[in-house]
Amino acid sequence: MVEQITSMDVDFAQWYTDVVLKAELVDYSGVRGCMVIRPYGYAIWENIQKDLDARFKALGHENVYMPMFIPESLLQKEKDHVEGFAPECAIVTIGGQNQLAERLIVRPTSETLFCEHFKSIIHSYRDLPKKYNQWCSVVRWEKTTRPFLRTSEFLWQEGHTMHETEDEARTETQQMLGVYADFYRDTLAIPAITGRKTEKEKFAGAEETYTIEPMMHNGVALQGGTSHYFGTGFAEAFDITFTGRDNQVKYPHQTSWGLSTRSIGAIIMTHGDDNGLILPPRIAPIQVVIIPAAQHKEGVLEAANALKDKLAGKFRVKLDDSENSAGWKFSQYEMKGVPVRLEIGPRDIANNSCVLVSRVTREKKFVSLDNIMDEVQAMLDQVHNELLARAQKNLEEKTFEAHSYEEFLDIAANRPGYIKAMWCGETGCEDKLKDVTGGVKSRCIPFHEDHISDVCVCCGKPAKHMVVWGRQY
């Protein structure tokens, strides 16, 4: 039998650990805080990469590769940036058996390296915009780590762009956040709140940080991706200038945006259930698993193989013709979150039909083999829509409005989820709310703010914004 996993309702954290290990997404490594991403987990990341990369390239972005090391003096050029990242750096001090003259930081993010390069290639408005992206791994020394959610090393993409005008750079920043939101919804079947970060929660060195904040099944937020507008801060620190159309020397306007393997954590915790993983069809490494019934009977495996070959022209499909029992196979591929199970046995073959089973609803559908391509596509789309609707319902049901300080504390203590509440704009109130609730922080000022009351939920002074608050991974 497939081993049991802990129930979500009993212990969500243990459920998560059980799923990532038993679905064979990751293995622990002997390296502190670093994970081994196993074939099934990495295949998800490859599908994420393929989807996002096409979106980036369609908008004119080009991929590059920067060094993995940052000389310490380079990291220190932008003051806010180094303050933000210095505490969590891994530092190379020895190379080729010698103490290095200058210490090298293993990149926690690559703004500084891109700036150094931009300085060498940007001279005129004709050199702009530069719209670059990089797929790589980065290192941030984390105290407590969990696979995908928080690891000392993680995989991500980081976009870095330079523009002639503030307008163009701000448009880029929001456009890329939009790309992330589209990707989460249309590819991962994950709805989310989007908006901008408060001053306190901004990226180190950014003028503005936009974020996508999907809610996990248990009501906790996961920062799903961020997009930053830097103004000309880095350009000034790195002395990057260009001659404009008006022959004046100016600083270019900069953005960066990133999305990481944390998104796999979001998939797991948004869609999974007590039987294991449920993968959104558009990134599932196996979209359809074929499980033959009575496979020793004449003609069954031939029919299953023929069906596999046919489906493989359009779908990612696997036939399990191992000697394991059908019951074991059902559990195994449920654990692995395969969206659609296809059962075929002697009676189905005689009827020119087969059975499709949705991983989400477990609904069984008897379909004719004549329409099998359309039927499979339809069930994959149905699974996507079911997942999205279910997650949307969860998000809505676990989003509350707080009209007063007391109500805020009550919700924070008793109802896991997001809290919509008004805010005066002062960091002090954010700090206080976080302290008294033991960790409820501002997620973002959403693009669409509701008017809940006139005053800050914390201090009672006039409110400037509605903020979405919540605990986070």
Our finding on whether 267 is near a copy of itself (CB under 8 A) is no
Q: Is 38 or 365 the residue whose CB approaches a copy of itself more closely?
A: 38
The correct pick among 71, 346, 425, 460 for binding a copy of itself (CB under 8 A) is 71
Task: Answer yes or no: are the C-beta atoms of 276 and 5 closer than 8 Å.
Answer: yes
The correct pick among 1, 9, 58, 120 for binding a copy of itself (CB under 8 A) is 120
Beta bridge partners of 469: 419, 442
Residue 186 phi/psi, 5-degree rounding, is -85, -25
Our finding on whether 60 is near a copy of itself (CB under 8 A) is no
Question: Using the 8-state DSSP alphabet, how is residue 38 labeled?
Answer: -
Q: Least distance (Å) from a copy of itself to the CB of residue 42?
A: 5
Our finding on whether 143 is near a copy of itself (CB under 8 A) is yes
Q: Is 141 or 447 the residue whose CB approaches a copy of itself more closely?
A: 141
Inter-axis angle of helices 262-271 and 12-22, nearest 10: 110
Our finding on whether 325 is near a copy of itself (CB under 8 A) is no
Our finding on whether 65 is near a copy of itself (CB under 8 A) is yes
Q: Is 27 or 363 the residue whose CB approaches a copy of itself more closely?
A: 27
Cβ-count burial of 418 within 10 angstroms (0-12 exposed, 13-18 middle, 19+ buried)?
buried
Tell me which stretch binds a copy of itself (CB under 8 A): 60-68, 307-315, 355-363, 429-437: 60-68
Cβ-count burial of 50 within 10 angstroms (0-12 exposed, 13-18 middle, 19+ buried)?
exposed
Spatial neighbors of 279 by CB under 8 A, at least 6 apart, are 44, 267, 271, 285, 336, 337, 338, 339
Spatial neighbors of 465 by CB under 8 A, at least 6 apart, are 422, 423, 425, 445, 449
Our finding on whether 438 is near a copy of itself (CB under 8 A) is no
Our finding on whether 335 is near a copy of itself (CB under 8 A) is no
Number of residues that bind a copy of itself (CB under 8 A): 56
Tell me which stretch binds a copy of itself (CB under 8 A): 136-144, 264-272, 397-405, 462-470: 136-144
Binding mask 155-174 for a copy of itself (x = CB under 8 A): x-------------------
Cα-based torsion angle of the residue sequence 277, 144, 209, 250 in order, rounded to the nearest 10 degrees:
-120
Q: Least distance (Å) from a copy of itself to the CB of residue 153?
A: 6
- The token duo for 386 is 């079911």
Residues 77-116 that bind a copy of itself (CB under 8 A): 86-97, 103-104, 106, 113, 116
> Which residue in this structure is represented by tokens 């029919």?
303
The correct pick among 17, 59, 127, 141 for binding a copy of itself (CB under 8 A) is 141
345: helix, strand or coil: coil
Residues 11-50 that bind a copy of itself (CB under 8 A): 27, 29-32, 34-39, 42-43, 45-46
* Rounded CA separation 416/21 (Å): 26
Contact residues: a copy of itself, CB under 8 A: 27, 29-32, 34-39, 42-43, 45-46, 62-71, 74, 86-97, 103-104, 106, 113, 116-117, 120-121, 132, 136-137, 139, 141-143, 152-153, 155
